[in-house]
Amino acid sequence: MSTKKKAVVLLSGGLDSATVVAIAKDQGFDVHALSFSYGQRHSVELTAADDVAKHLGVVEHKTANLDLRTFGGSALTDDIDVPKDREEETMEEDIPVTYVPARNTIFLSFALAYAEVVGAKDIFIGVNALDYSGYPDCRPEYIEAYQTMARLATKAGVTEEEELHIRTPLLEMSKADIVTVGTKLGVDYAMTISCYDPNDKGEACGHCDSCILRKKGFREAELDDPTRYQA
């Protein structure tokens, strides 16, 4: 049995969370990856998460079922049109329609349960404060407040080391930084899906906010973009 420290890593199948898995492994953690089947319109995300977990060598990969459509309220779970070909300035103006109410709060809560059961004290999440600031639950002060709450929700550690940590290695990184680090750590970005509106084959639309930011990241990092785009 491995004596390495365990971490729970939230894995969506996207570019960011794949990079986080690679970073957690590089930091010496045994990774317990956690994905969600939450009524998202494109299940190709879950296939991508499986591929990434296998490729990067996690010790366990669980997918929790939950139905966020119970409440509605987002373009990622409802039949609202995903905006296309927007300027970056426009994206930053307000909370996007692709925002799922309380999504990170819900995902982290499941990660907390998983961490408690396997005895992990570290939870990794690929939130990013720079590239995309429209989501309130991606802000550093939110993550810090979550950690404070999570420590009170669970059995207390004696030392700081034993206390629960919410780790956000991408928080201050640009998309170019992220793909540069991930490429060095062996992430195969062809497996990952960032697109808000992919086709059934998992090919990206190339025009939603997420595709535009991803393209720009590879361009600025001066790396080939291995993303599979729709013809």
Angle between helices 175-184 and 209-221 (to 10 degrees): 60
Amino acid at 143: I
| Closest separation in Å from C-beta 189 to a copy of itself | 28
| Closest separation in Å from C-beta 186 to a copy of itself | 28
Please say which residue, 113 or 130, places its beta carbon nearer to a copy of itself: 113
Cα separation, 179 vs 15, in Å, equals 8
Cβ-contact 65, 35 below 8 angstroms: no
| Closest separation in Å from C-beta 131 to a copy of itself | 19
The site for a copy of itself (CB under 8 A) is made up of: 62-68, 70-73, 95, 100-106, 108-110, 112-114, 116-118, 136-137, 139, 141-142, 145-146, 148-150, 152-156
Question: Token pair of 42, please?
Answer: 């494109």
Please say which residue, 108 or 191, places its beta carbon nearer to a copy of itself: 108
Three-class secondary structure assignment of 177-228: HHHHHHHHCCCCHHHCCCCCCCCCCCCECCCEHHHHHHHHHHHHHCCCCCCC
- Helix, coil or strand: residue 17: helix
| Closest separation in Å from C-beta 181 to a copy of itself | 27
Question: Token pair of 69, please?
Answer: 């459509």
| Closest separation in Å from C-beta 67 to a copy of itself | 5
| Closest separation in Å from C-beta 71 to a copy of itself | 4
Q: What is the DSSP letter of 111?
A: H
Please say which residue, 50 or 203, places its beta carbon nearer to a copy of itself: 50
Please say which residue, 100 or 193, places its beta carbon nearer to a copy of itself: 100
| Closest separation in Å from C-beta 129 to a copy of itself | 13
Please say which residue, 153 or 190, places its beta carbon nearer to a copy of itself: 153
Could you tell me the CA-to-CA distances from 206 to 40, 149, 176, 217 in Å, in that order?
19, 38, 17, 13
Please say which residue, 95 or 190, places its beta carbon nearer to a copy of itself: 95
Supply angle C-alpha 67, 119, 17, rounded to 5. Answer: 50
Please say which residue, 106 or 171, places its beta carbon nearer to a copy of itself: 106
